[in-house]
Structure 1
């Protein structure tokens, strides 16, 4: 389909996303000073700009309806985490009296104020999208989300019966006594503020009722006169095609409060939700042990400072007064929400069995070189890796048929002596962990590095640590002062009269679920130098003997920053000598000011630079005299772009790398990261195809301007649509060849 075919169905242009920062007046005649704060975009506003691009997927009427609903839920989860981590961190700095400016010249308080204001606009946009667009469109498609007052009397009776039997027994109303303590409000829990009084002249009393998270948020409407369905058995998660009618659980609760508060007057009930700071912790060096520290952090997080209050727009002034005073939040931290608070319920809508309202399902494909490998013959897989390196690309290639198959073969192969792996995040029911346990039970030496400080996965990782240790597996908890973010595995195998090393170096976690929706790359290789480097890296993890003499891997914090800086400067030298000079980098975030300065200097030397940065980008592209040869793109679509690719032309003898690190200060200086070279010409062509396709996308690619604003690419008249994710799915299915993928033009 061309854009002309769609002209009647889509707006001519996507409204640009507002700048991530205040507009800057550019003087092309002035000398650009790369140290000037004006040349650096704000990190926090840049992240909110990414969340806006995610929200746009819900606004875009070219997307199927349930996909739009899904992105409303994704946006909610993203911004919840942003407030817990980033806004929480800013508030901690303010409370500590920190006034040092960020690279763009803002104090923590100035950033906090700007972020809260920008977030308010996004929440208003999200609420309008659901109430004015998505909800009515769902109704037209036969999926009605109703207000309780719009129901028939017989339907209300059916819901009252459900509430009395299945919800009421789970509720615990907590009434606030001004002479006593205020009830604790847990992080991100949906609550109802209930105002009651004893008779018309009685004082208002405030009670908090937690909406039970273990009951369906979208309750199917049951009409007692027609034998309606049992809401417990027909939640939105399991709904089939055809007409469906739902009401929100909090609406059912509010409509039946007389059962919870009998013999008093219920004046009003208003939903609300609080978000607490997740930036809590202690110095692990003074704790008894890292596990004790992490368990303490998890306990503290439950009671941490409130950083956001979401309140129903029609809430009684007394409710607002009580919550502001008792939660110790300012007016700036209060967000009045129209419509339902916490739109993660839209995940249930997105999961409904309505294929007519969704994108076609995607099934990850077998890797073409592993598809015919006998899973009962582990030696065959190692023989394939020994023949040539393999590049696996998720979710286009099956995680189970590649990474899981690699480690499963190692666990079952009698010739394998040892397996070592890093775990940053993994699935709650992890096949990778079970495989490592199986390997240990077969007598293999197994060592696992588990990063206990992986944000919001600490509790899951703690459970796995205890299980692994119970199985006699060597477990390391990372290193003091550094997070272990590297994605690596090493298999040591006896072959004839030698011991061979098989390595996996990747951009993503050993997580079977995220591998279905995150784009990630992994290198499987029998390169002995890479294997020797991993031996050193794992010895550092378990023995704390730091190495700086890696042969091929670029490792943070030891060699990574220096290596990338040297390669950027080398391209600048090529450009100054009149040779072709080119850098293409795909990453999640470009935050480190020193790396931004290096790119500015390279651009001033004439290096052609394409940056595909999913989220935060401090660099201003296209500024005359400073960054006029730099373009910045961001691709947001059905998959989360998570892979990191680094290309340096080097006078026609290019370097290609993949690995775990973004160009953020934390990745370069405060985390253990591993980046591997990709040297096989065939695999390099695969990486070229990925980069070309992303840079040719004219539907899901956003292009940044010098102010930090983004505009989404649209096909020109007569131009064919190209969605990068669709093109790469077609490539994985074998529907197109790598050579046929469109060459991009900047």
Structure 2
């Protein structure tokens, strides 16, 4: 599919939406239902026969993990609003209570589909000599092995708990998994109710020896097999499994004197949040089920009965390296040719010209090397770094600590409010402080989501600032999966812009006269609206007018309305939105010139890019091109510190427009097209025709600006060999 095809297919004629008021709230698609739609697309990859079998299992696990987080944050928040009697509608017109009804209906269907797909995958795995066993499948030798395994690897970690007046119901943490047991004493038939919490430290699947392939027994089956050893003198009458999800949103006092200490307390509160979902085995014994529901404070609205596996996200344990035949072919990220030309010297490579890398196709190790080299270089006098999410044993934090211990001036902006990474970030901040770094926590009421790093180096009589701008986190693990852009530059203007942002974060000094940068919450949204309006003016003047944009989510109402207005003025707008999209494309009289697609495949699309034709259409060397840390959401544009970096280097511009964005537009193999009603579907493909795959294209073609001797004319053609 060419870019032109994407613009005109499948909606050659814009459609009307009967019963939808496109002049009112109906012009927006609900955010929460759109997110669920994205998770359906993730789940459908688990049924995609072109995806390797264990990777399909991974997609199933990801869809379950996504849904868990959705419940613990988004559903928990809506539930709280509804309980408080809040009837304020979202921009699409739905109240919190109305949204919860629709979410509950769709999420239950999604969970049923997960179980159906799991059953299908089990059959296919067994055909490939990889089995998930039940107790009836075990031989005598298996049982002997598992008894020894239980005694040596599991028994000591378990804490079986009676439920009676002397033993109050235990606390089950968020994502906690347990067995509820109805037992009977053998000698006098006296009943006993008990719980067996399953510690998260124990693997969910136990490998059972076999001569061919792999066999696994779920942990719950192993526990049932050994109930007699846990409750001597009792026999098991009935049981069920259950799993708890709790409200995981954080509340922090605005006037907290010690932000770190306040977050440590808030993290403990999160662990004890109210239950927002209780999943339990279908057919659970009514009396025992009633006890668990009553003790957890759960009603029917929070209860989901599962006919199958509870805790589907644990299936990620079965995605094992021992079966490369069932995984994606190995891909090793490239080291850019230019860095190799300079024998690994990042500063020399950047000095030659700006360099834009696309991860994971070019290795994130270049970002790590940039900071490690800075830490060792005696000419480096200062390093400044934002840290939103990073890994446990972060090589970036290691480098910053080494630089600080070496006497360099190191400033680290650590964002404590990075959801689900707060505890890790607190640990990293303490470590940086011990090494002598200046640790800044930014603003209480704003998250710092910008991805910036600066290294100041003395070169002769001058101080030269080397700057890294990114669209993704400084996290070497997720950088193997997420597609992101990394811009390395020693352009003085971009260096000054970055320094002003750091001064804003550390000293609250509002930056003025930024050259190539816009930041939220001050002027990033205004810059976007200004550029969209300018494109509309080009269209009204009869000039070519076009916008290409790529992001994770699009829900900000003012931006959506600006895109609608531009479409009505004649601007051709092509959007690649991975996840949530509140805009309705292809609607007569509203958005007939807007097309939206979502790419879901081997890698997780994460980079944020926007290109404006600037009166010349796209692609064009005089287009205005930006990369950003921000999605087009209210939180990013109004309540976070984010960056929008204008790209002026001709080679980097050509790379973004004619390589990165053009390949995303041309993708067919992994693309879903959005319909006006908010649903997505795969574009039809003629039997036997080649389907372009942008992930494969990027794996096979190096980033233009990272090549050793490349010019703007060297953009690879969007073709490659057929499967």
TM-score range, shorter-chain basis? Answer: over 0.9
Kept in 2: contact 1:426–1:509 (CA 8 A): yes
Higher mean alpha-carbon deviation, 147-156 vs 723-732, is at: 147-156
1:537 to 501, 511, 528: 501
Secondary structure, counterpart of 1:356 in structure 2:
helix
Are residues 1:184 and 2:171 paired?
Answer: yes
Are residues 1:388 and 2:388 paired?
Answer: no
Tell me the residue number matched to 2:403: 439
Higher mean alpha-carbon deviation, 576-585 vs 308-317, is at: 308-317
Tell me the residue number matched to 1:130: 118
Q: Report the alpha carbon displacement of residue 158 of structure 1 after superposing the two structures with TM.
A: 2.6
Tell me the residue number matched to 2:73: 85
Distance 1:398 1:740 in 2: 22
Secondary structure, counterpart of 2:339 in structure 1:
coil
1:269 to 239, 248, 266: 239
Tell me the residue number matched to 2:420: 456
Secondary structure, counterpart of 1:370 in structure 2:
helix
Tell me the residue number matched to 2:181: 194
Are residues 1:287 and 2:278 paired?
Answer: no
Distance 1:286 1:209 in 2: 42
Is there any run of 5+ residues in structure 1 with no aligned partner, and where?
1-23, 223-227, 229-240
Secondary structure, counterpart of 1:739 in structure 2:
coil
Tell me the residue number matched to 2:642: 673
Kept in 2: contact 1:696–1:742 (CA 8 A): no
1:351 to 307, 320, 325: 320
Kept in 1: contact 2:355–2:489 (CA 8 A): yes
Distance 2:88 2:16 in 1: 25
Tell me the residue number matched to 2:370: 406
2:591 to 627, 632, 635: 627
Tell me the residue number matched to 1:7: none
Are residues 1:315 and 2:306 paired?
Answer: no
TM-score, structure 1 as length reference: 0.90
Tell me the residue number matched to 2:334: 365
Secondary structure, counterpart of 1:504 in structure 2:
strand
Note the 1:233-252 alignment, pairs <5 A.
242-252=212-222
Tell me the residue number matched to 1:683: 652
Tell me the residue number matched to 1:98: 86
Kept in 1: contact 2:61–2:313 (CA 8 A): yes
Are residues 1:422 and 2:389 paired?
Answer: no
Report Cα offsets for 1:654-690 as digits up to 9, x if no partner: 1101120000000001000012111111111211211
Note the 1:212-227 alignment, pairs <5 A.
212-222=199-209
Report Cα offsets for 1:35-61 as digits up to 9, x if no partner: x11111111111111111111111112
Count of aligned pairs: 693
Report Cα offsets for 1:399-457 as digits up to 9, x if no partner: 11x21121122112211110000000011111101111111122211100000110000
Q: Report the alpha carbon displacement of residue 723 of structure 1 after superposing the two structures with TM.
A: 1.3
Q: Report the alpha carbon displacement of residue 204 of structure 1 after superposing the two structures with TM.
A: 5.0
Secondary structure, counterpart of 1:732 in structure 2:
coil
1:142 to 96, 105, 129: 129
Distance 1:630 1:733 in 2: 28
Are residues 1:160 and 2:160 paired?
Answer: no
Higher mean alpha-carbon deviation, 260-269 vs 549-558, is at: 260-269
Q: Report the alpha carbon displacement of residue 277 of structure 1 after superposing the two structures with TM.
A: 0.6
1:210 to 197, 200, 210: 197
Q: Report the alpha carbon displacement of residue 721 of structure 1 after superposing the two structures with TM.
A: 2.1
Tell me the residue number matched to 2:60: 72
Report Cα offsets for 1:567-589 as digits up to 9, x if no partner: 00001111111111101110000
Kept in 2: contact 1:584–1:648 (CA 8 A): yes
Distance 1:221 1:718 in 2: 43
Rate the CA distance shift 1:220–1:742 in 2: closer, same or farther, 3 A.
Answer: closer
Report Cα offsets for 1:263-305 as digits up to 9, x if no partner: 233211211100001113122x322311011101110011100
Secondary structure, counterpart of 2:500 in structure 1:
helix
Q: Report the alpha carbon displacement of residue 739 of structure 1 after superposing the two structures with TM.
A: 3.0
Tell me the residue number matched to 1:587: 551
Distance 2:579 2:562 in 1: 20
TM-score, structure 2 as length reference: 0.92
Tell me the residue number matched to 2:162: 175
Are residues 1:524 and 2:488 paired?
Answer: yes
Distance 2:222 2:193 in 1: 19
Are residues 1:301 and 2:270 paired?
Answer: yes
Is there any run of 5+ residues in structure 2 with no aligned partner, and where?
1-14, 617-621
Tell me the residue number matched to 1:342: 311
Rate the CA distance shift 1:201–1:330 in 2: closer, same or farther, 3 A.
Answer: farther
Kept in 1: contact 2:17–2:676 (CA 8 A): no
Q: Report the alpha carbon displacement of residue 167 of structure 1 after superposing the two structures with TM.
A: 1.5
Tell me the residue number matched to 1:55: 43
Kept in 2: contact 1:280–1:304 (CA 8 A): no
Secondary structure, counterpart of 1:651 in structure 2:
coil
Distance 2:537 2:611 in 1: 16
Secondary structure, counterpart of 1:265 in structure 2:
strand
Are residues 1:615 and 2:592 paired?
Answer: no
Report Cα offsets for 1:678-719 as digits up to 9, x if no partner: 111111121121111111111110000000010013532342
